Structure 1
Amino acid sequence: MEENAITAQTDKTPHLIGVIVTWRAITHQGLTRSQNEDAHWVTHVINGKTDTESSSRYIFAVADGLGGHRGGAIASRMALKAIKEEFHAWHGGQADSMVNRAMQKANQKIFCVAQTDPELFQKMQTTLTIAVLENDLLTLGHVGDCRLYRMRDGHIYQLTRDHTMASDMLQLHMISSGQASNHPGRHQLTRSVGGDPFMNADITRQPVKQGDTYLLCSDGLWSELTEEEIRSALEETDMSRGCEKLVRLALSGGAPDNITGIMFHIEVLGQQAANPFSWRTLLGKR
């Protein structure tokens, strides 16, 4: 279990400090899988503009290698390696272009490696969802059926659309939402990273608000939970307890798949009167 809290402090005059985020990540092999094919990554960069101003960039990513395939664990980790390379080379601005570039790079690398090994061909694939937070703007890149939820003002929203046969049929009004939740194609992917030489990723951008709480998770987590159970976990004031609740509920449901979740909360956004320290980041566990 991990948590990362960032505190930024300036003199007593309010200054732009970007965003302060707390987060927790948790992963579990599940009760039936022989290995964990999920992979996740969280990091941040704080750039100082002046002695009293800073710019914040975070990235949260979850990749779920295709279940039961020998190449799944390799694919999910390859995808995150490609994302890391692009994020660390990025200097801010046009986050949507960076996200698209990173996801296309991940797709090309996985697809090319898969061609070199017949046993991995058409099997070495992964889902991938990444959320990039630059100051007050969240850029979301998504392929597959990991999900990003947001809780704002007591209401929970699913910000991603599953790229599955059931979800596609729902979009075409071929089935109802009730039918989609129990459809045999609920987990049959129609898009993945590494499955084809060219990939269509969903890239969206939206502002964040102070007090927002997000959950980025693999299908091994959300498929075992109700929306009310997710809401209950996101409402926990102790983020560790919220993450543990999610996994406990998924395990109680049988947990046939790997489980991974990242919860993050927007603590402070924009300006804040602070104590007499510089903007420089103080990292700590709690």
Structure 2
Amino acid sequence: MKYVYQSDKGKIRQLNEDAVTVIPRKEALLAVVADGMGGHQAGDIASKLTIEQLEKLWTNADVHELDFKKWLASSIKEVNNLVYQKAQSDSSYQGMGTTVVAAVCTEKDLIIGHIGDSRAYLISKAEWKQVTEDHSLVGELVRSGQLSKEDAQLHPKRNVILKALGTEPDLEPDIFHSDWEGFDRLLICSDGLTNKVSDQELHDVICDTSLDNLGQTLVDLANERGGEDNITLAIVDQQEEVGDV
């Protein structure tokens, strides 16, 4: 597998509250995107803490012995409680939280866990599939049939999140487990990208752009359309060797 990842504060925000990492192991790699929220620098702290702790848990794990699905669910829950405890311990951090979308990728399988409205997509030349369901107000309205996907893109409350890591104890992440099913690339990203670039455009750009240039191409596209939010993404290409950057 080959991968790229990138984060940009956008054109408006003074601080990048997103965080991203990809950590390859011999048998698998872990990719994580977190989009922090909260006053002052609390969102920045929540997202960075989430990335750091998941990276530590992944690096210290015996990958040979792991049930990846159980590991991902329990690790996200553990990090959620850690962020929650930190938010409760300091008044300047109260109310902070973060989205998280994390993927364990092997040559054959994908295990994806998420909380919030950061997304995961599987992409091939022929099609794309959004794996995650947004834990957001407009996401619920779309699922209930009260709002179309097209109208959701423009809804004034599209950034209202109903579930975020670190905002309450013992949150359960959504977990998705599949083989690659004919897909070639996995995209995980914050809403700073998906609020500016449609699913169809993401598919077209990701299929038509070399992996080396893909991160910057997508960041530039979101910034050209306003760049009001931080923009963060990681892309894993299943067809290349693990560890190439």
Q: Equivalent of 2:124, from 152, 175, 187?
A: 152
CA distance in 2, matches of 1:27, 1:68: 20
Confirm or deny: 8 A CA contact 2:2 2:236 kept in the other structure.
Answer: yes
Give the corresponding residue for 2:53. 82
Partner of 1:3: none
Q: What is aligned with 1:118? A: 91
Q: Residues of 2 paired with 1:69 and 1:35: CA distance?
A: 10
1:69 and 1:145 mapped to 2: Cα distance? Answer: 21
1:263 aligned to 2:243?
no
The corresponding residue for 1:59 is: 30
Q: Secondary structure at the match of 2:168?
A: coil
Corresponding residue SS for 2:93: coil
Give the distance between the partners of 1:210 and 1:266, measured in 2 at CA. Answer: 10
Taking the aligned partners of 1:227 and 1:173, their CA distance within structure 2 comes to 19
- Structure 1: stretches of 5+ with no match in the other structure: 1-20, 47-55, 270-280
1:15-30 alignment, distance < 5 Å:
21-30=1-10
Cα displacement string for residues 217-249 of structure 1 (whole angstroms, at most 9, x for unaligned residues)? 111111111223211221135112222221111
Q: Would you say the 8 A contact 1:67–1:257 is kept in 2?
A: no
| 3-state SS of 2:73 partner | helix
* Structure possessing the higher radius of gyration over alpha carbons: 1
Partner residue in 1 for 2:23 = 43
8 Å CA contact 1:62, 1:217 repeated in 2: yes
Aligned pairs for 1:149-188 (under 5 A) are 149-188=121-160
Could you tell me which runs of 5 or more consecutive residues in structure 2 were left unpaired when the two chains were aligned. Answer: none
Describe the superposition over 1:53-100 as per-residue Cα deviations: whole angstroms up to 9, x where unpaired.
xxx211110011116542001000111122122212332331111001
- Cα offsets for 1:240-284 (capped at 9, x unmatched): 222222111101111011111111211159xxxxxxxxxxx8x66
Cα RMSD after superposing both structures:
1.9
Aligned to 1:5: none
Structure 1, 85-94 or 101-110: larger mean CA deviation: 85-94
- Which amino acid in 1 is paired with 2:133? R
Retained in 2: the 8 A contact 1:211–1:267?
no
In structure 2, the partner of 1:105 is: 78
Q: Give the whole-Å Cα distance in 1 for the aligned partners of 2:171 and 2:149.
A: 26
Contact 2:117 2:136 in 1 (8 A): yes
* 2:113 aligned partner, one-letter code: G
**Paired amino acid for 1:116:** S
- Report the secondary structure of 2:239's partner residue: strand
> Within 2, Cα distance between the matches of 1:165 and 1:205?
25
Give the distance between the partners of 1:176 and 1:218, measured in 2 at CA.
21
Cα separation, 2, equivalents of 1:120 and 1:190? 19
Judge conservation of contact 2:104–2:111 (CA < 8 Å) in 1.
yes
When you count strand as a share of all residues, which structure comes out higher?
1
Per the alignment, in what secondary structure is the counterpart of residue 267 of structure 1? coil
Instruction: State the TM-score, normalized to the length of structure 2.
Output: 0.92
Residue equivalent to 1:17 = none
Asked if the contact 2:23–2:55 (Cα under 8 Å) also holds between the matched residues in 1, the reply is no
Quote how far apart the aligned CAs of 1:209 are. 4.7
1:106 maps to amino acid: V
Contact kept? 1:66, 1:125, Cα under 8 Å: yes
Change in 2 beyond 3 A, CA 1:225/1:178: closer
Partner of 1:274: none
Query: What letter is aligned with 1:186?
Result: R
How far 1:153 moved relative to its partner?
A: 4.1
- Cα distance in 1 for residues equivalent to 2:10 and 2:69: 33
Give SS of 1:162's match: coil
Q: 1:228 to 1:169 in 2, by over 3 A?
A: closer
What is the count of residue pairs matched by the alignment?
Answer: 243
Contact 2:11–2:228, Cα closer than 8 Å, also in 1:
yes
SS across alignment from 1:186? coil
